[in-house]
């Protein structure tokens, strides 16, 4: 997804000379094309995320559209005060890009595990939150983000290399997509867990002899409440699956929507990183996902048990 983002950003910067790109000493083997083509609008500020957000805010106050890019855990947590007080308070046109969300930097340890970024960005006034699942969503989310005036946080992971879009899909902030039609069980995904969710749906359909609806929600704020309610009403169960803490992310958003609309009867459970614990295991992303139960076999077993 990082390559998809970069390709779309090059197109955006070619057509809009007001776009500035800032990075906190990150993006080697990824951002060189932007630096080479737009040297006067590409700034590597070094390992100083707070300074990067402050600089981005100053440029935005001068009428520029600014991208601030870093590893997700550092892009949102280290400069959180500057994001809140400089960017959001003034409703500035700053786009914060967090790459490697979730366990995508698994081998770097807990400091690089991003388990709470969606939660802390979602609570900020004026901040839109995007978490694309694969290449098409990443490109379209970047395009939509640049046409939205105001703060945006976009989390990037690794594209599963599978296409899920339909010719009818039209990306917009606040819109979700049905990537698999079904009525009995509803699985809701965000970020680069969509391939895992699809495999989970395969197992459920085979074991339960029923139809499973899979919904991708690349826009978490604003959120597609109408799509969720339409498919959750009458379903035997609704389950969210995300590479994020079960607190404050997709699961929290969906549960609040279900309660607000009186959909209490359906079986519901959110699957994600466990609350109140750090995962200190050493291993790659797949290993860590299995450790927290986010693999198709364990997910399908847990969902069948819940039902």
- Residue 207's pLDDT is what? 96
Angle at the Cα of 295 (from 247 to 159), degrees rounded to 5? 85
Give this prediction's pTM: 0.96
Q: Which tens digits make up the pLDDT trace of 176-222? A: 999 999 999 999 999 999 999 999 999 999 999 999 999 999 999 99
Q: Which tens digits make up the pLDDT trace of 254-290? A: 999 999 998 876 799 999 999 888 888 889 999 999 9
Q: Which tens digits make up the pLDDT trace of 3-20? A: 999 999 999 999 999 999
Residue range 30-56: mean pLDDT, rounded = 95
- 266: Cβ–Cβ under 8 A, 6 or more apart, which residues? 232, 235, 236, 237, 238, 258
pLDDT for residue 107 is more than 80: yes
Q: Which tens digits make up the pLDDT trace of 120-153? A: 999 999 999 999 999 999 999 999 999 999 999 9
Residue range 98-120: mean pLDDT, rounded = 91
How much of the chain exceeds pLDDT 70, in percent?
100
Q: How confident is the model at residue 159 (pLDDT cuts 50, 70, 90)?
A: confident
- Residue 263's pLDDT is what? 86
How much of the chain exceeds pLDDT 90, in percent?
87
The Cα–Cα gap between 307 and 301 comes to 10
**Which string of DSSP letters, residue by residue, matches 199-247?**
HHHHHHHHHH-S-EEEEE--EEETT-HHHHHHHHTT-SEEEEEEEEESS
Residue 142 CA to its chain's centroid (Å):
12
- Residue 282's pLDDT is what? 84
Using DSSP's 3-state secondary structure scheme, residue 29 falls into: coil
- Residue 4's pLDDT is what? 95
- Residue 265's pLDDT is what? 60
**Which string of DSSP letters, residue by residue, matches 50-87?**
HHHHHHHHHHHHTT-EEEEEEEHHHHHSTTHHHIIIII
Q: Which residues pair with 185 in a beta bridge?
A: 212, 237
């Amino acid at each position: 997804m990082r390559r998809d983002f970069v390709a779309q950003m090059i197109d955006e910067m070619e057509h809009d000379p007001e776009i500035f790109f800032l990075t906190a000493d990150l993006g080697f083997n990824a951002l060189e094309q932007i630096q080479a083509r737009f040297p006067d609008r590409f700034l590597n500020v070094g390992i100083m995320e707070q300074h990067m957000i402050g600089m981005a805010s100053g440029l935005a106050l001068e009428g520029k559209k600014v991208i601030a890019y870093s590893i997700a855990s550092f892009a949102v947590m280290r400069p959180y005060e500057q994001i809140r007080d400089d960017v959001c308070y003034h409703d500035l046109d700053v786009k914060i890009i967090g790459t490697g969300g979730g366990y995508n930097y698994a081998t770097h340890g807990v400091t690089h595990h991003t388990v709470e970024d969606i939660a802390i960005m979602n609570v900020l006034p004026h901040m839109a939150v995007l978490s694309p699942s694969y290449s098409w969503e990443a490109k379209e989310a970047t395009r939509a983000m640049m046409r939205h005036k105001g703060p945006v946080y976009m989390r990037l992971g690794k594209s599963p290399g599978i296409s899920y879009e339909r010719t009818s899909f039209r990306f917009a902030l606040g819109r979700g997509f049905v990537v698999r039609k079904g009525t009995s069980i509803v699985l809701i995904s965000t970020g680069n867990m969509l391939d895992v969710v699809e495999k989970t749906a395969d197992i459920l359909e085979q074991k339960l002899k029923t139809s499973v609806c899979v919904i991708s929600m690349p826009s978490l704020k604003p959120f597609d409440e109408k799509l969720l309610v339409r498919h959750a009403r009458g379903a035997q169960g609704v389950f969210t699956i995300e590479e994020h803490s079960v607190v404050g992310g997709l699961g929290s958003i969906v549960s609040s929507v279900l309660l607000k609309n009186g959909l209490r009867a359906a079986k519901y459970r959110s699957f994600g990183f466990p609350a109140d614990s750090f995962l200190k295991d050493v291993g790659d992303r797949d290993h860590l996902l299995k450790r927290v139960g986010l693999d198709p076999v364990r997910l399908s077993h847990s969902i069948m048990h819940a039902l």
